[in-house]
Structure 1
Amino acid sequence: MSEGKFAIIGLGQFGTSVAKNLSKLGAEVMAIDREMERVDVVKDDVAYAVALDSTDIKALSSQSIHEMDAVLLAIGENVEGLLLTTVLLLELKVKRIIARAVSEQQKIILQKLGVTEIILPEDEVGKMTAEMLLNPEIQSFISLPDDYDIVEVLAPLRTFGKFIDDLNLEDAFDIEIIALRRKYDEYNKLGFKEEVDHLIRNPKDTNTTIQRGDKFILMAKKEAINKFLEINS
């Protein structure tokens, strides 16, 4: 079943990845780039792949771009092409425009044009990488408003064998535990044993003891998470 119709304009590494993953999730995807070589790379993975100049309003109109549920602008370094394409999409009254910016300056310009959904993927990856370098226990994180993060961390040494309640996360650290990720041995279709990740939701209510290799999914402020890891490592 289709999960919507989307156009991706700009088939660099980022745009190509989004196009392929959207298709895998069941969406109908039109992939667009002015370079035929890039279109050829993705054509077997999406519903439609088209080589055209997105700064040509007639070319865009010919693809019924206004009928898409959303258009992702992933043009990248070609600032002139990004901005002109944005203006044309606004003129064509595209329902939803999501633009990738590669700098704060681009983000400001896109906002001035009227685009409300802007992403800076390189900035987000940079923040995540910095956190993981400083704190090897951190596996991934999502920044939230008011200085809160959702963080996945390896269970530190001193937590092994304890119940979740023993850690006193809420009272001592002001940390909310969302789930516990744990690997279980399972047999695949070929009969080989492999480790498979599963989530234990509401782990406080399951009398679960913490094992080596477990990962906590926590919501808290950065200082609280750092304090918890320091005390229990």
Structure 2
Amino acid sequence: MKYIVVGLGNFGASLAEKLTAQGNEVIGIDTRMAKVDLYKERISHTICMDATDEFTVSGLPLKDTDVIVVAIGEDQGANVMATALFKNFQVKRLISRAINPLHEKVLHAIGVDEIVHPEEETAERWAKKLCLNNVIDSFELSDQYSIIEANVPKEYIGKSILEIGFRPQFNLLVLTIIKPIQVQSILGKTHTERKVQGVVTPEMVLEATDILVLFGSNKDVQKFLKFKE
């Protein structure tokens, strides 16, 4: 896949490096030439440019890029301007870094697809999340094994756990299923909560909105996710 990471601070540079190491094509962007020089051997491509300048940004291969991550953390104004600019170009998938709750509200207002909180989430976790299609979240137990949350693929909707054969076909364990449910507050407002279904039985039938919680080796997880595409 192809990525653009804007802002080569600690989080942005680490994310760009890990995505590159996983075989993706990554363009790392920063306004500081020292940062560009520092990572030019560790990231597929590095460019020194101002991501808040519309003319400059228009020269990037935006149509061919799968994901753009605005990882600018030092300058909230530049973060918002760059995010709004990429959103205006109607890129495929836009992820931006939030510094505080107010900043996050502004990003939501712009219409950002996903928001990153580097203080709470590691670059390694996001690298895995971005590389594996349909993964909602992941937790690495070791270098070889992970627990992931993934959307139910279309071809499995309406089928039971037994019919799909997670263990014999993919060598994966279905730990549980999470179902989103609508809950009404005492003020009458409705919001969505995640309800864990407990121990999975072979007869359980998957629905379109279900979230699978799977355990297995990283190799088998990748095999399953590639099979789904």
Q: TM-score range by the shorter chain?
A: 0.5 to 0.7
| Structure-2 change in CA distance of 1:34 and 1:180 (3 Å) | closer
TM-score, normalisation: structure 2: 0.54
Structure 1 unaligned spans of 5+: 126-137, 149-168, 171-176, 182-198, 200-233
1:64 partnered with 2:61: yes
- For residues 80-111 of structure 1, what are the alpha-carbon distances to aligned partners after superposition, in whole Å with 9 as ceiling and x for unaligned? 10111111101212111011112121111100
1:110 partnered with 2:122: no
1:81 partnered with 2:88: no
TM-score, normalisation: structure 1: 0.53
Residues 97-176 of structure 1 aligned to structure 2 (within 5 Å) = 97-124=94-121, 146=194
CA displacement at 1:61 relative to structure 2: 1.3
| Structure-2 change in CA distance of 1:141 and 1:84 (3 Å) | same
Bigger Rg over Cα: 1
SS at the partner of 2:50?
Answer: coil
Alignment match, 2:33:
36
- For residues 178-225 of structure 1, what are the alpha-carbon distances to aligned partners after superposition, in whole Å with 9 as ceiling and x for unaligned? 7699xxxxxxxxxxxxxxxxx9xxxxxxxxxxxxxxxxxxxxxxxxxx
SS at the partner of 1:29?
Answer: strand
Question: Relative contact order (alpha carbons < 8 A, sep ≥ 6): 1 or 2 greater?
Answer: 2
SS at the partner of 2:119?
Answer: helix
- For residues 127-170 of structure 1, what are the alpha-carbon distances to aligned partners after superposition, in whole Å with 9 as ceiling and x for unaligned? xxxxxxxxxxx99999986476xxxxxxxxxxxxxxxxxxxx97
CA displacement at 1:77 relative to structure 2: 2.6
Runs of 4+ in 1 over 4 A off after TM superposition: 138-145, 177-181
Q: Percent identity?
A: 32
Superposed CA RMSD in Å reads: 3.4
**Could you tell me how far apart the structure 1 residues matched to 2:215 and 2:49 are?**
46
Amino acid at match of 1:106: H
Amino acid at match of 1:78: D
